């Protein structure tokens, strides 16, 4: 079984599109019918995120894809990802894939991760809508395009586009329960145990250019710092 974990803290505006994209990825014929479980980790949510999951359940059930959610009160993305991973490992997942609630994966996302035949897959991210930044959107897009390496062989690390075998995840000790950079810390631990890496742009995801970053020092904050540099 392939497990997908998505941490969510008050993400009702984005979560539905995220789950729709994951449903398409879970039905990719290239997976040869392997079961996929999509797990939303609702972290201290006070909005309608839980209802979004409930509303999506019939669509998932109709095509035989498992959708589940758990609730935690951590307010730390590292702790939320770790809780999701534990739940999926206990359910028998052999491969763990991680993305974010404001991210839409490509239909071939899971198949592309597995096809790379590695213990760890670090994917890149793309932004297809810069409009939340208003009049500064074009300057930010240009600065991002000039800085970011959306290609095979990149060295970017994103919790929004990460895959790891269950065995390697366990051997590395899993995600640390930190407010940010849990993805970087896990990758460093995986490097430390000699895991086989694929740094690839083949597993495609599109993430938001949001201005209300959920995780301090996460991707949203990185974009805002880029904007300062582009000004």
- Which residues are CB-contacts of 116 (< 8 A; sequence separation ≥ 6)? 198, 200, 202, 203
Q: Taking the model in full, what pTM does it have?
A: 0.90
Residue 166: closest CA among 221, 220, 116, 95 = 95
Distance from C-alpha of 119 to C-alpha of 117, rounded to nearest angstrom: 7
Structural contact between residues 205 and 161, judged by C-beta atoms closer than 8 angstroms: yes
Listed by start position, the domains of the chain span 2-230
Under a CB-based contact definition with an 8 Å cutoff, are residues 40 and 53 in contact? yes
Q: Give me the mean pLDDT over the 183-190 stretch.
A: 98
Q: 116-125, 140-149, 158-167: which has the minimum mean pLDDT?
A: 140-149
Give the bridge partners for 36, in sequence order. Answer: 2
pLDDT in tens, 14-72: 999 999 999 999 999 999 999 999 999 999 999 999 999 999 999 999 999 999 999 99
pLDDT at 194 > cutoff 90: yes
| DSSP codes joined into one string, 71-104 | EE----HHHHHHHHHHHHHHTT-SEEEE--TTEE
The 10s digit of each residue's pLDDT in 90-133 is: 999 999 999 999 999 999 999 999 999 999 999 999 998 888 77
CATH number of 2-230: 3.90.550.10
């Amino acid at each position: 079984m392939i497990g997908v974990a998505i941490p969510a803290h008050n993400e009702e505006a984005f979560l539905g599109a995220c789950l729709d994209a994951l449903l398409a990825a879970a039905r990719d014929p290239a997976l040869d019918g392997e079961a996929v479980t999509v797990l939303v980790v609702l972290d201290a949510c006070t909005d309608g995120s839980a209802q979004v999951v409930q509303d999506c359940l019939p669509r998932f059930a109709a095509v035989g894809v498992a959708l589940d959610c758990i609730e935690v009160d951590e307010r730390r993305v590292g702790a939320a990802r770790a809780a999701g991973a534990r739940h999926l490992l206990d359910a028998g997942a052999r491969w763990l894939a991680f993305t974010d609630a404001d991210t839409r994966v490509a239909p071939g996302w899971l198949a592309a991760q597995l096809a790379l035949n590695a213990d760890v897959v670090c994917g890149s991210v793309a932004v297809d809508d810069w409009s939340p930044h208003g009049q500064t959107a074009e300057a930010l897009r240009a600065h991002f395009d000039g800085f970011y390496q959306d290609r095979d062989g990149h060295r970017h690390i994103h919790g929004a586009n990460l895959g790891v075998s269950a065995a390697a995840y366990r051997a590395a000790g899993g995600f640390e329960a930190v407010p940010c950079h849990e993805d970087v810390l896990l990758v460093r631990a995986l490097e430390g145990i000699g895991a086989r890496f694929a740094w690839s742009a083949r597993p495609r995801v599109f993430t938001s250019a949001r201005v209300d970053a959920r995780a301090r020092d996460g991707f949203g904050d990185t974009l805002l710092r880029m904007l300062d540099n582009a000004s």
